[in-house]
Amino acid sequence: MSVERIGKIEEEAAAAIAGAGDTAELEEARVRFLGRKAELTGILRGISDLDPSERGEVGSAANRAREAIEALVAGRAGELEREELGRSLETDRLDVTLPGSPPRPVGHLHPVTRTRRLIEDVLVGLGYRVVEGPEVEHDFYNFTALNHPEGHPARMLQDTFYVEPSEDLDPSCGSGPMDVLLRTHTSPMQVRAMEDSPPPLFVIVPGKTYRRDSDATHSPMFHQVEGLAVGEGLTLADLKGTLLEMLRALFGPDREVRMRPHFFPFTEPSVEFDVSCFRCGGQGELEGGERCGLCKGIGWIELGGAGMVDPNVFGFVSEHGYDPDTVTGFAFGFGVERIAMLRHGMGDLRFLFENDVRMLEQFS
């Protein structure tokens, strides 16, 4: 009788435990099936009174049943706790749509800085070092050593800000009204860099430059990046490849570069370089047949100047290991603002320097 009864008790207990709706009901079920007055407890207690032939069978069945019921109670208790916690958390709600607090303001780098860093990173990746030079500069570095002889009309190509002679300037400065100036390009650093370290030399020079000019596309102050590569066997084809890599990194992998012969006193041959338009894909017109406004229908966007370093420039640094007969080099330069404006579709260059936070906060 007992063994069947034990099985029955186990079934009843399982049903009662599963049906317990909260911890109180569960406790009630536990007491009912496992408490001191419970039937199973009674059976266990009475085992010693049984016939020895039954003891083993009934004893082990009763113990198994007790363990099983205990496990069911523990399992159900866990379930009920989770349910109850869930219910209590359900009522403890936040409006997650409220703003974060306190509102940490987010700062922004200026688009010129962002763009300058981007260019630096691209050229660093191509194996260039970054060097910087002074903005208040000797005529010697800005013009003379860049093969703009005194009285050369090329000096007039760049409308120059001159610095008033003063005893406050370095004693190495001439006292003439045109001896010291605000550099009109980052190119003076070409000569300084070559004076500083022998070839092979791969440097870029980011920095502020100045020209006496002010309208929507000309600012009296702007930023340039200059590149200079000097070594044995460098060619114009190397310049083209370098520009191509750089422009693809800046404007997309499908871009092409175009070089148009030009004139700069400190490079020979000299070129201006263009990038194929990234809006119309160099077609000059948009999908609907409309003329592309970015490249003005030309398919190319003018970016900067470049060329092979003129041997006369090496002549100024020949004592520093730059023998025009053994080394060649190329140089390139372009405006940082122009790149920034093209990348972000900005119109007026001068607005960049007004530092309107509504402009600054657009770039991340």
Partner 1 sequence: MRVPVSWLAEYCDPGLEPGDLARRLAMTGTEVERVSGRMGGDTGRFVIGRTLEVGPHPDADRLSVCEVDDGTGTRTIVCGAPNVAAGQTVVVALPGAVMPSGMEIGEAELRGVLSSGMICSEAELGLGDEDDGILVLEDGPEPGTPATEVLSLDEPVLELEVTPNRPDCLSIYGVAREVHAVTGAELADPPWDGWIDPGPEEVSGLASVRIDDPQLCPRFTLRVFTGVEVGESPAWLKDRLVSAGQRPINNVVDVTNYVMLLTGQPLHAFDLDRVPGGELVVRAAIEGEKVETLDGVERELPEGTVVVCDRDGPTAIAGIMGGASSEVSTGTTSVLLEVATWDGPGILKSSRELGLRSEASNRFEKGLHPALASRAQAIASRLLVEVCGCEAVPGMVDEGAGMPEEGSVRLGVGTTARVLGMEIPPATQEESLERLGFAVEAGEAGFSVLVPPDRAFDVTREIDLVEEVARVADLDAALPATLPATSGGGLSREQALRRTAEDAIVAAGFDEAVSWSFTSADSIATLGLDPTGDPRARPVAISNPLSEEQAVMRTTLLTSLVDAASRNLARGTGGVRLFESGRIYLPPAGNDEAGGSFPGDRPAPAFEPLMLGALVCGDLVPGDWRGDGVSADFFSLKGVLEQVAGSIGVSIEVIPGTEPFLHPGKAGRVLVDGQDVGWMGELHPSVGSAFGLGPSVAFEVGLERLVAASPSGQESFVEVPSFPPVERDLAIVIPETVGASEIEAALRKAGGDLLEEVVLFDRYTGEQVGEGLCSLAFSLRFRAPDRTLADQDVDPLWETIVESVESIGGTIRG
Compute the distance between CA of residue 166 and CA of residue 143 in angstroms, rounded to an integer: 21
Residues 75-104 touching partner 1, rule: CB under 8 A, are 98-99, 101-104
Residues 299-358 touching Zn ion, rule: CB under 5 A, are none
Q: Which two tokens stand for residue 265?
A: 């006193």
Q: Does 130 bind partner 1 (CB under 8 A)?
A: yes
Q: Does 231 bind partner 1 (CB under 8 A)?
A: yes
Q: Out of partner 1, Zn ion, none, which partner does residue 14 contact, by CB within 5 to 8 A per kind?
A: none
Per-residue mark of binding to partner 1, 326-355 (x: CB under 8 A): --x-----------------------xxxx
Q: Torsion-angle region of residue 322: left (phi > 0), alpha (psi -120 to 50) or beta?
A: beta
Q: If DSSP codes are grouped into helix, strand and coil, which group holds residue 176?
A: coil
Residues 252-281 touching Zn ion, rule: CB under 5 A, are 277, 279-280
Compute the distance between CA of residue 63 and CA of residue 41 in angstroms, rounded to an integer: 10
Per-residue mark of binding to partner 1, 266-305 (x: CB under 8 A): --xxxx----------------------------------
CB 140 within 8 A of CB 170: no
Cβ closest to partner 1, residue 208 vs residue 279:
208
Residue of 295, 300, 304, 291 whose CA lies nearest to 338: 304
Q: Which amino acid is at 127?
A: G
Cβ closest to partner 1, residue 13 vs residue 247:
247
Geometric angle at alpha carbon 260, from 254 and 265, rounded to 5°: 130
Per-residue mark of binding to partner 1, 27-66 (x: CB under 8 A): ----------------------------------------
Count of Cβ atoms closer than 10 Å to residue 285 Cβ: 14
Q: Does 118 bind partner 1 (CB under 8 A)?
A: no
Residue choice 180, 292, 309, 352 for contact with Zn ion (CB under 5 A) = 292
Q: Which two tokens stand for residue 121?
A: 């990173």
Compute the distance between CA of residue 143 and CA of residue 173 in angstroms, rounded to an integer: 15
Pairing mode of beta strands 201-210, 129-130: parallel
CB of 253 to Zn ion, least distance (A): 17
Q: Out of Zn ion, partner 1, none, which partner does residue 313 contact, by CB within 5 to 8 A per kind?
A: none
Residue choice 77, 163, 286, 346 for contact with partner 1 (CB under 8 A) = 163
